[in-house]
Every structure is written in structure tokens, then in C-alpha cells.
Structure 1
């Protein structure tokens, strides 16, 4: 959402994006595609994040119920970059 505000500010001030400055956001929020210029963004796998979070929570609850030790861990999911009009291709 911050990147959308930044684009709006630059548009208001007449600063050309991406000719003078490039802007990229995070999370591929739906507004990224409807603002001008369309916002390049880092895409995160929101659905998969929810599935993994639920699985970990369920595992922890089962461990707690059965008096077992739950071992917290870090889960990394792949992200990607969606290039749109707000960045220059180099």
C-alpha cells in the first residue's frame, strides 16, 4: 500500500515513473494492476502461506494435546517479481 501512495505522490508532483525513478511494491495487492503506472511488485504466495501456517498450528495443537514437544521451525516459500510499468527493464 505504501508503494501505491508513493506512486500517487510522484504523479501529483509530476515526477515521471519510471523515467526518473522506479517504484516496486510487495505482495502483489490488486491495486498494483489498476493504478497508473501499473506497479511492479514482489509476489508472495499468500494461499500457500495460509496453508503452511494452518498446518503448523494444527501440528502444535496436536503436540500440546498429546504432551509432545513441538519444535518451531522456519518455512521458506518462493517469491517472484512481477514487472509492470513502474520499473524499467534493464
Structure 2
């Protein structure tokens, strides 16, 4: 039961909370919803961190989409074993 909660319920709960939070913030402060509102790009110390964070999110998203859309037969045709696939995914 705990495994089902952790891997089935929590991801959907997080997604719903993410979307609901964005809708709520947009409704409450529509004109303050910019990068300048958090001064994230204004502070010189945060520029590198912000850039790396957003590139990381992009790589994670693309990795998940590729993992869902590319069939397993494609990887076996290339000679990639399941263990190699997981090592590459972790890297």
C-alpha cells in the first residue's frame, strides 16, 4: 500500500498541486507574475543557478518524454541492455 501511495498517488497529487498553485497565483496577482517579481534575474549571484536549474528541468522533461515515446524494441535493436538503459537514464 505504501509503495502504491508513493509511486501512483504522490505524482498525480504533485501535478494537481502544481497546476492549482499556478492558477491560484495567477488569479491573485496577475500583474506581478513575472521574473522581476521574484528578482531572480536581478541578483547577479542567482543567474548561474537559475540558468542551470532551468536547463536541468528541460533535460529531465525531455528524458521522461523520450522514455515514454521510444519503444523498448528500439533499444534492443541498438543492442542496449536493460542495465545499460538504466545506467544511461541515471547519468
Which TM-score tier does this pair reach, normalised by the shorter chain? under 0.3
**Could you say which structure has the greater relative contact order, defined with CA pairs below 8 angstroms and 6 or more residues apart?**
1
Please, what TM-score do these two structures have when normalized by structure 1? Answer: 0.28
Output the TM-score relative to the length of structure 2.
0.28
- Structure with greater strand percent: 1
More helix, by proportion:
2
